[in-house]
Structure formats: C-alpha cells, structure tokens
Amino acid sequence: MKPSDPRVVAAIVASALFMQNLDSSVVATALPSMARDLQADPVHLSVAITSYLVALCVFIPVSGWVADRFGARRVFMAAIIVFTGASACVGLSQGLPSLVAARVVQGIGGAMMVPVGRLLLLRRVTKEELLTAMTWLTMPGLLGPVLGPPVGGILTDAFSWRAVFWLNIPVGLLGLVLVWRFIPEVERQDPGPLDAKGLTLWGLALALMMAGLETLGRPIAPRWFAPIMLGLAVMTCIFAVRHSNSRARPAVDLSLLKLTAFGMSMGGGTLFRVGAAALPFLLPLKLQIIFGLSASSSGLITFATALGAFTMKPLVRPVLKRYGFRTTLAVNCVAAALLVAACALFTPAWPLALIFAVLAIGGTTRALQFTALATLSYADVPQEKLAPATAMSGTLQQLGQALGVVLGSLGLEVAMLLTGHGAPGPQEFSIAFVIAGLVALSSLPSTLRLPPDAGQRISGHRLR
C-alpha cells in the first residue's frame, strides 16, 4: 500500500483516537482511586473528566482554521506532542488544582489532534470511499476503550492511578513517528482571517455552560453560582449566534446545520451521545461502590461494552446497505437507549456473566449508532466546507461526552435529593441510568425526520 493510501492514513490517525479513548475510559475506572489519593469525593471528581472535555470543546472550533493556516500534518504532530506531555503532567499531579490544569492542557492538545487528523483523512477520500475510511478510522480507535477499563484497573491496583496516564507516552511517541514517516502534507486551503471574536464568544459560552452544569445542585460552589453561569452562557450563546450569522467566514459556520444529514447528526446525534456517554461514568462507580469490586475487576466487566463495540464494526456496511441510514438509526436508537437504561437493573445478585453479556450487546448497538452518525454527517458536506465541518462535528461530539459525564453526576445528585440519602446507593444509580436512557431515546424524533434515501450514495442502499 502507498503511504498516502487512505487506509494507512486512517490507521495512523486512529493512534490519536486510541490515546484519547484510552484516556477517557481509564479515568472513569481509576476515579475512585484518584479520589482517595487526592482526598476528594469521587462524584465531585468528575471535574477531572469534564475539565478535559471542556477544553476540547472550547479549542476544537479553531482547529480547522489552524490546520488550513499552518498545515494539517504539522498541526497534527504538534498536537500529539502537547497531548503526550500533558498526560505525563497529569500523572505527576499532587492535588486537584494541578490535576485540572494538566487536564486542560491535555484537552487543548486533543482539540487539535483528533479533528485535524480526521481532516487529513477526509481530504483524501471520495464519498463512495467514506464508509470504508470511517470504519478503518474507528476500528483501531476502539482499541482504546476495549483496553482502557481492564488496563486502567490493573495498573491502578498494581501500581497507581498515575500509571494509566503515563501509558500515553509510548503511544504518543509511536504515533508521532508514524505520522512523520507515512503521512504527507495535504494541500492547504485559504482559511481567511481568523474570526477571533467568534472563537472567543463560542468558547466563553461553552465554558460558562459547563461551569454552571458542573456545579448545579452541588455543595462545591455558592447556590447562586450555577444559575448565574448558565444565564451568562445563554446570553453569550445568543451573541455568538448573531455574530456567526453576520460573518462571511465565521469561526463556527452555522450554515452547515442546514444540510439535512449534517444537521441531523449534529442535533439528534448529540442528544444520543449525551445519554450514552453517561454510562462509562456511572458504570465503574456502581460496580466499585455498590458491588464492592476492585478497579481491575470492574474494568474487566466494563471491558464488555467496548468489546461489543469492536465486534460490531465489520457488520456496519452490510447493515447500512440492507436497511439504509434512516431505518438503521431509528431502530437501533431505541435498542441502544433501552440497553443503557437496563443497567439500572444490575444488582450484586446478578451473575457477572449475564452483566457482561448485557453490556456487550449494548456496546454493539452504540457502536453501530456512532459509526452511522459519524459517516452520515459528511454525506452532503462539500469539499471546501470540510475544515469547519470537522471542527463543528468534533466540538459537538466532545460536548456530548462532557454533558454525558455531567448528566451522570447530576443524575446521582438529583436521585439523592429525591431519596434523601447522603450518598449514592443502588436506588440512586438506578434512577441515574434511567435518566441517561431517556436522554438517548430523545434523539429518535430527529432521526425519523431523515429522508428515506439519506446517505444512499455512501451506504449503497436502494429503496424498494
């Protein structure tokens, strides 16, 4: 295969996805151990996850402009260096402030790493090759969540939670060498002048929103803090929308949402991601707090979720070709949402093999939904709009993950308020899982509004 072969590029770019996915799944598994070491509440320590994801959301919008201005390959390599160095700093953190600061820097590196890597790939493929390219991209990237829970648990129990972040160092160095050796630079596009005002407004709106949601109903800030932050976020978002609509080349191109497939993937797809992303946060906590399992044992069980996702990838193409995007996304949305809510039924009396099976099936449905959404989102995006499209897609994907963590944490807080308990127990976790399932299911109406022939050129599906 030639070095510029899209499959080679996809596999190498997937090393960045591997690091990011490994990092996300490892943190959830190591959270109780991190909380003990740093003397923090494990529920409140979700800020270690959301601070990273907020940094991603704030800086991803500028990734497309930076890639076009300085060259996608060069920016991709610099982002890997920043991400890897910040991972080492997270492992050296001695308190919550230094941990959060290192996670923010790590998020800045990730903001440039994944969307710019995806842009390197998308500028090399035709619409007919898109499904194959996205499958090659996401399959190696799934090794991160497959290996994350068991590796994170084993390293946490055998050494320390810090070791799970140092694992990114050899992976990052390997990815850097592969990019330098095998990926040539793509032709640069003229990004126009930097929309600094738009980037500032959108970044501020996202940061204010996450600050408000992260502190809502929690005793970690004054009661007035969360409502004021959320109110400021809404006001800033209004100004950001007005600014974007008045610019010829805005930092966030809202006109992309008028494209049917892209708009649905960004709208309904984000709702689904929020509900699904609550599960990786809630599940390790439930297995360790309620079941009394160690980090390594809970990691081996949650391994089922990612294993099911990995086995689904070869089936994506035949399923989409047989049923098309609209039917597949609608039916699978219901199944995936029910399987998220089914985690509410888990009790220590359940056989671990049965829990493993339910999680594996759930992972299969979510993998199908994520891959179909990721592929469909670029079905009607013109070549000259790929940079802003990948930036917006990356922002909303990471925002969905951040909101999923907030949803899981907030769901536990709401459940404790309803039950009057001072700490999360079986009932509280059940309520939180049901809430997550309902949020995932709320993406169904937007899916049903897709035309029957949506993405037909990519899937190869023919209407009868």
Three-state DSSP string of 222-269:
CCCHHHHHHHHHHHHHHHHHHHHHHCCCCCCCHHHHHCHHHHHHHHHH
Residue bearing the bigger pLDDT, 190 or 280? 280
* Phi, psi angle pair for 463, to nearest 5°: -70, 140
Nearest to 23 by CA among 141, 137, 139: 141
Reply yes or no on whether the pLDDT at 141 is more than 60.
Answer: no
Q: Is the pLDDT of residue 451 over 50?
A: yes
Q: CA distances (Å), 152 to each of 118, 205, 241, 296, 443, in order? A: 26, 33, 41, 7, 32
pLDDT of 201 above 50: yes
Residue from 121, 135, 194 nearest 390 by CA: 121
How many CA atoms lie within 13 Å of 188's alpha carbon, on the beta-carbon side?
Answer: 14
**Which stretch of DSSP H or E encloses residue 60?**
none
pLDDT, greater one: 424 or 235: 235
**What percentage of the chain exceeds 70 in pLDDT?**
89
> Long-range contact list for 207-210, CB < 8 A, 24+ apart?
207/54, 207/58, 208/232, 208/233, 208/236, 209/233, 209/237, 210/50, 210/53, 210/54, 210/57, 210/402, 210/406
pTM value is 0.78
Q: Are 167 and 19 in contact (CB under 8 A)?
A: no
Model confidence at 52: pLDDT above 90: no
Give the mean pLDDT of the chain: 83
Residue 1 pLDDT more than 50? no
pLDDT of 443 above 50: yes
Asked if residue 208 lies in contact with residue 232, where contact means CB atoms within 8 angstroms, the answer is: yes
CB 324 within 8 A of CB 453: yes
Quick one: which of 76, 78, 96, 98 has its CA closest to 88?
98
Rounded mean pLDDT, 96-114: 87
- Which contacts of 69-72 are long-range, i.e. CB under 8 A and separated by 24 or more positions? 69/188, 69/191, 69/194, 71/185, 71/186, 71/188, 72/116, 72/119, 72/120, 72/123, 72/185, 72/186, 72/188
- Selected residue with higher pLDDT from 219 and 424: 424
pLDDT at site 188: 66
- Which residues are within 8 A (CB) of 164 and not within 5 positions of it... i.e. 6 or more apart? 26, 27, 29, 30, 91, 151, 152, 155, 156
pLDDT tops 80 at residue 142: no
Tens digits of residue pLDDT in 17-50 = 777 767 766 776 677 788 788 777 766 676 777 7
- The yes-or-no verdict on residue 261 having pLDDT over 50 is yes
| pLDDT beyond 50 at 2 | no
